[in-house]
Amino acid sequence: MSADPRPPMAQITDDSLMAQIQRSDQRAFRDLFARHYNAALRYAFLLCGNREDARDLIQEAFVRVYRGAVQYKMQGRFRGWLFTIVRNLAADRVKRRTVKTTGSPAALSAAAKAPAPPVREGGSSFLAQLAGLSDEQREIIVLRVVEEMTYAEIASITGLREENLRQIVSRGLTKLREKGASNELQPAE
């Protein structure tokens, strides 16, 4: 039985895995998928509020990662790139559903103004605590607190300025504290 010549997974960067994927290394793709699946699934669930839709989004996102590997620029920003793909797919899915279910411009306008579906209580206590926040606050707090992304990473995903992101996180956490949310909702410094 031969030993695996590759270094332990913790020592292999996402960019190294992407370079291997560019050379059609299926194992590197499986490793990258395993490394980021849970975080991407949490984010997709947050965006669409449905586990099955979230799983479908993640599957499509990783297909796009594989197909787009050749265009990926090795800058140590894979996770931000992946989350941007997930975010764009979620937005496209919402647009497709709106167009399919309505025909008139008035109905489209009403659908665009409608609140997003609530986060289900059974999902997790953390998501249940976030249910009272706006979609934007919820998304940004999850990226900052749960995924421990920097404000620069979140800015690259959302297109918002870092100063605005800090305000959104601060206001959202204040709102959660006022509602008695747990103290574990603090961003890593």
What pLDDT, in 10s, does the model give residues 74-133?
Answer: 888 899 999 999 999 998 887 776 544 444 444 333 333 333 333 333 345 666 778 788
- The rounded distance, in Å, linking the Cα atoms of 84 and 139 is 12
- The rounded distance, in Å, linking the Cα atoms of 114 and 108 is 10
CA distances from 65 to 18, 87, 142, 151, 177 (A): 9, 13, 22, 23, 38
Do residues 122 and 49 lie in contact, with contact meaning Cβ atoms separated by under 8 Å?
no
Q: What domains does the chain contain, in order, with CATH numbers?
A: 12-114 (1.10.1740.10), 117-182 (1.10.10.10)
Identify which has the larger pLDDT, 115 or 3. Answer: 3
User: How confident is the model at residue 140, as a pLDDT?
Assistant: 93
How many other CB atoms sit within 10 Å of the CB of residue 157? Answer: 23
Residue among 32, 33, 56, 30 nearest 45 (CA):
56
- The rounded distance, in Å, linking the Cα atoms of 165 and 158 is 9
User: How confident is the model at residue 180, as a pLDDT?
Assistant: 73
- The rounded distance, in Å, linking the Cα atoms of 44 and 140 is 13
Residue among 120, 119, 101 nearest 110 (CA):
101
Q: Which amino acid is at 31?
A: D
Map tokens 């849970």 to a residue: 38
- Per-residue confidence at 185, pLDDT binned at 50, 70, 90? low
